[in-house]
Amino acid sequence: MGTEVNACSDSSACPDQTTLLQSKVQTHTFDEDDPSLMEHEHRTSIEVNLATTKVFGEVPIYNYHLANAGGMNPSLAELAEQKTWIIMMDSSATDDDEAKFCADLKNLGTNVQCVDSGDPDNNGEPYVTVKANEAELKSVLSQHFPHVKYGEPDGPIGIDDPEPDPSLIEEAVSTPWGLDRLDDSTGQDGSYNTPAHSREGAGAHVYVADTGIWTKHVDFEGRATPAFDYYRAGNDKVCPQGDANCGRDRNGHGTHCAGTIGGLRYGVAKQTALYAAKVLSDSGSGSFTGILKSLDYIMAKGNKPAVWSASLGGKGKMHSIADTFKKAKAANILISVAAGNSNDDACGYTPAFAPAAVTVGATQKGDRRASFSNYGSCIDVFAPGKDVLSAWWNSDTASKSISGTSMACPHVSGVAALIFGDFPGSDAASVEANIKAYAGKQQVTDAKAGTPNLMLHVPSWVPGGPIQTFTTTAPPPTTTTTTVPPPPGTFACSFESGSKPYCGLWEDARGDKFDWSRKSGKTPSWNTGPDKASDGSNYIFIEASCPRKMNDNAILKTNQAFQIGSAAFLRFDYHMKGSAVNTLKVSVSEGTTSDVVFEKQKAQGSNWNSANIDLAKYTGKSVTFAIEANRGSSWSGDIAIDNVNLFAGTAGGGGPPAATTGAPPATTQWTPPATTGAPATTGAPATTGAPPATTGAPPPPATPPSGNLGKKVDALQRTADQILKLLKSLQGR
């Protein structure tokens, strides 16, 4: 049983927290199969799509739509079919817990079976892969849900590299063009040289997750070793010493990638150790379970520091892969993956989308994005990938030129091996940061909007000693912030008073779903929202917990129109942290016409950010303003704003006027937000001096509540917070 606040009894706007206390409380039985009533953030490291999630035995099943041809509404025949499911367990699970799970499956007396499992006792990934129909899976999950985080259907992966252009195939050059490009800041000079005194990858261990490696090829000089073969009979997938057939390549793709990583003639890191991790069949196909098993092996038994290089992929966003990558990176395994060859957004593919991976797009000669290469914000760096010459599988001396992001990925894996070798003791995060810091900036043409424009480069670093420290995003430049008075007429609001309209100007709109809530300190929900105000002690935010639903909106608007003059602006601070953050936008309206002048979607980091909107295009017009936030797919989507400063401008040109009678009073002192990093925290006053009559500025703010009334408002707010926490705790039972 649980308690729900009946926030909306009709089609009118949902009330804010104060009104929630006066709402009718109903008791009912929660729908245990409703994924929106579960907390997901402690289960998975990526955003949950509730529309493709089902619940079995109190365990969410992500990407359920991929299990059946019928998607979220499978037929009875599909429900009866056995499928392969990946069951991810929490960090406290042991090998014995996995064995118990599999034993309980066997006790069902059907054909259900455990296909695979991890090795958490030796720092591997806690998971099991089972073959079962839905009824069988639900029966066991209902017994084990305290240990199980989530499940999802296994799926296919493979290689889909385009055919090379025969007119561009290079078979007799002394230096492959991709290598030639890496050591030059721009262009090519006909040679490839690693930094002076480089160990050329010695001391690093690169696991090539692919079709295997033809380890006898002369280009490997005996440095390539069979390590793992997912297609080996039995449960033990580790290659025995001396077994040349284990991890053997009969396709060519894996051998080609290994040659680019560490071959004597074709390789970036010519002295690195190479390991065959066969996760793709001889035809180039595989499954997500094979990826999990190979990484579990490396985490538990592999040599470190390690690079896991995977030129493969499949559709969708697999939670199990993203979470395993995150754990592997923390275990000092750098993950290097191909972006994909669909000329599409890489964020729609696994493993390319995974945040913990270094995702590699492909270029052709001349630093142009290859026409087949995927793109988008999930790309980390570009590397040569069209018509790349490397070793081949059908003889000990064979070579071939092929194309794909599959060929770009090994270049990055090789550079990672160089850095690991030249800077002993480096961790995977530092190596990734250095790869990005060394890369050429804004060199790739047709990289596509929103794609990081970085071109892989090996500069002349000095090996030895501690690795240079970089952050994955460039730190803000050093700036000096001077406290100056705002332009006369600026209407500043830091929500220090709970009286509405806030600061006499900002009111709750009619027709939205709920209202913004005022808060000091941390928001009630875990790991979402700010810990404190940007300016002063209070801010306002949208409380995304129950009974809010996906896309429910809260709108704050000005209570009158402004005649916009010269140099007008709207500035504010915003905070968007959480796994289910939706959208924050600002609109400017003139009559029935409305423009969106600011919009941010999804999480924007853990700090307050600043927005500065130039209102020049509205000069001479009478407009109103609205700030709207939308609730995401779950409770982890609190959006907050603070320190809102509106300057309607002046009637003449030349920018904001200077004060005419000396320094303004202390109450109007104002620190403009910094252009980067966190905004200034100097407290802005609730009001400023009266604006000139020609600016159409708002009237003075309403009088704040008296001391006793203010205390009652704060007490009511705290009570509302406590009730919401109680509701969420009841949901979890």
The answer, yes or no, to whether residue 348 has pLDDT greater than 80, is yes
Residue 594's pLDDT band (cuts 50, 70, 90)? very high
The CATH classification number of 491-656+667-705 equals 2.60.120.200
As a whole number of angstroms, the distance between CA 312 and CA 302 comes to 21
Q: Which letter does DSSP use for residue 445 in this model?
A: B
Place of tokens 């989530």: 150
Mean pLDDT score, 23-34? 45
Mean pLDDT of the chain: 83
Mean pLDDT score, 218-236? 95
Q: What is the pLDDT of residue 721?
A: 54
Q: What is the pLDDT of residue 536?
A: 85
Give me the helix-helix angle, 319-330 and 288-301, nearest 10°: 20
Q: What is the pLDDT of residue 685?
A: 36
Q: What is the pLDDT of residue 717?
A: 52
Q: Are 519 and 717 in contact (CB under 8 A)?
A: yes
The structural domains of the chain, with segments of one domain joined by +, span 31-154, 175-455, 491-656+667-705
As a whole number of angstroms, the distance between CA 681 and CA 610 comes to 12
Bridge partners (DSSP) of residue 542 are 639
As a whole number of angstroms, the distance between CA 102 and CA 96 comes to 10
The answer, yes or no, to whether residue 10 has pLDDT greater than 90, is no
Mean pLDDT score, 541-559? 91
- 616, 557, 622, 568: which is closest to 593 by C-alpha? 622
Q: What is the pTM of this model?
A: 0.64
Q: What is the pLDDT of residue 402?
A: 96
As a whole number of angstroms, the distance between CA 622 and CA 590 comes to 6
- 69, 41, 210: which is closest to 153 by C-alpha? 69
The answer, yes or no, to whether residue 202 has pLDDT greater than 60, is yes
Distant-in-sequence contacts of 102-105, Cβ < 8 A, 24+ apart:
102/128, 102/130, 104/140, 104/143, 104/144, 105/130, 105/132, 105/136, 105/140
Q: pLDDT over 70 for what percent of the chain?
A: 79
The answer, yes or no, to whether residue 96 has pLDDT greater than 80, is yes
Q: What is the pLDDT of residue 676?
A: 37
As a whole number of angstroms, the distance between CA 632 and CA 635 comes to 8
Q: What is the pLDDT of residue 681?
A: 35
CA 330 to chain centre: 16
User: How many angstroms separate the Cα of 369 from the Cα of each of 155, 380, 411, 436, 709?
Assistant: 29, 14, 15, 17, 63
The token pair at 660 is 């005419």
Place of tokens 């290659």: 239
pLDDT: which is higher, 507 or 490:
507
The answer, yes or no, to whether residue 695 has pLDDT greater than 90, is no
Mean pLDDT score, 119-128? 96
Pick the range with the lowest mean pLDDT from 14-23, 58-67, 601-610: 14-23
As a whole number of angstroms, the distance between CA 576 and CA 579 comes to 10
Q: Are 313 and 354 in contact (CB under 8 A)?
A: no
39-80 pLDDT per residue, tens: 888 899 999 999 999 999 889 999 999 999 999 999 999 999
Rounded to 5°, the CA angle 358-361-363 comes to 140
The answer, yes or no, to whether residue 692 has pLDDT greater than 80, is no
717 phi and psi angles, rounded to 5 deg:
-65, -45
Q: Using CA of residue 446, residue 447, residue 448, residue 449, what is the dihedral sign?
A: negative
Contacts of 660 (CB under 8 A, 6+ apart): none
The answer, yes or no, to whether residue 482 has pLDDT greater than 80, is no
pLDDT: which is higher, 586 or 466:
586
Element (H or E) spanning 105, and its range? helix 95-106
Q: What is the pLDDT of residue 5?
A: 37
The answer, yes or no, to whether residue 696 has pLDDT greater than 70, is no
Pick the range with the lowest mean pLDDT from 14-28, 536-550, 634-648: 14-28
The answer, yes or no, to whether residue 222 has pLDDT greater than 60, is yes
- 555, 386, 439, 5: which is closest to 185 by C-alpha? 439
Instruction: Give burial (CB, 10 Å; 0-12/13-18/19+) of 344.
Output: middle
Active site residues: 210, 253, 406
CA 233 to chain centre: 37
pLDDT: which is higher, 165 or 664:
165
Q: What is the pLDDT of residue 726?
A: 56
As a whole number of angstroms, the distance between CA 219 and CA 221 comes to 6
Residue 223's pLDDT band (cuts 50, 70, 90)? very high
Place of tokens 């579990």: 296
pLDDT: which is higher, 471 or 610:
610
Give the CATH architecture of domain 175-455: 3-Layer(aba) Sandwich (3.40)
Q: What is the pLDDT of residue 619?
A: 93
The answer, yes or no, to whether residue 693 has pLDDT greater than 70, is no
pLDDT: which is higher, 61 or 166:
61
H helices of 124-219, in order, are 134-144, 177-182
Q: Give buried/exposed letters for 252-280 (b at 16+ CB in 10 A, else e).
A: bbbbbbbbbbbbbbbbbbbbbbbbbbbbb
The answer, yes or no, to whether residue 502 has pLDDT greater than 60, is yes
As a whole number of angstroms, the distance between CA 148 and CA 102 comes to 13
As a whole number of angstroms, the distance between CA 392 and CA 268 comes to 16
- Specify the CATH superfamily of domain 31-154: Peptidase S8 propeptide/proteinase inhibitor I9 (3.30.70.80)
Q: Are 308 and 334 in contact (CB under 8 A)?
A: yes
The answer, yes or no, to whether residue 463 has pLDDT greater than 80, is yes
Q: Which letter does DSSP use for residue 345 in this model?
A: B
Q: Using CA of residue 526, residue 530, residue 531, residue 536, what is the dihedral sign?
A: negative
Q: Are 397 and 217 in contact (CB under 8 A)?
A: yes
Residue 523's pLDDT band (cuts 50, 70, 90)? confident
Q: What is the pLDDT of residue 83?
A: 95
- 17, 39, 6, 19: which is closest to 731 by C-alpha? 39
Instruction: Give the N- to C-terminal CA distance of the chain in Å, as an integer.
Output: 8
Q: Are 351 and 446 in contact (CB under 8 A)?
A: no
The answer, yes or no, to whether residue 114 has pLDDT greater than 70, is yes
Q: What is the pLDDT of residue 729?
A: 52
260-275 pLDDT per residue, tens: 999 999 999 999 999 9
Pick the range with the lowest mean pLDDT from 373-382, 616-625, 667-676: 667-676
Parallel, antiparallel, or unpaired for β 583-590 and 622-630?
antiparallel
How is 458-495 classified by DSSP, letter by letter? Answer: ------SSSPPP--SSPPPPP-----BPPPTT-EEE--
305 phi and psi angles, rounded to 5 deg:
-70, 145
- 698, 658, 321: which is closest to 501 by C-alpha? 698
- 299, 269, 516: which is closest to 410 by C-alpha? 269
Residue 120's pLDDT band (cuts 50, 70, 90)? very high
Residues in the chain: 733
Residue 235's pLDDT band (cuts 50, 70, 90)? confident
Q: What is the pLDDT of residue 727?
A: 61
As a whole number of angstroms, the distance between CA 85 and CA 82 comes to 9
Residue 146's pLDDT band (cuts 50, 70, 90)? confident
Residue 242's pLDDT band (cuts 50, 70, 90)? confident
- 717, 203, 135: which is closest to 423 by C-alpha? 203
Q: What is the pLDDT of residue 36?
A: 77
As a whole number of angstroms, the distance between CA 37 and CA 546 comes to 8
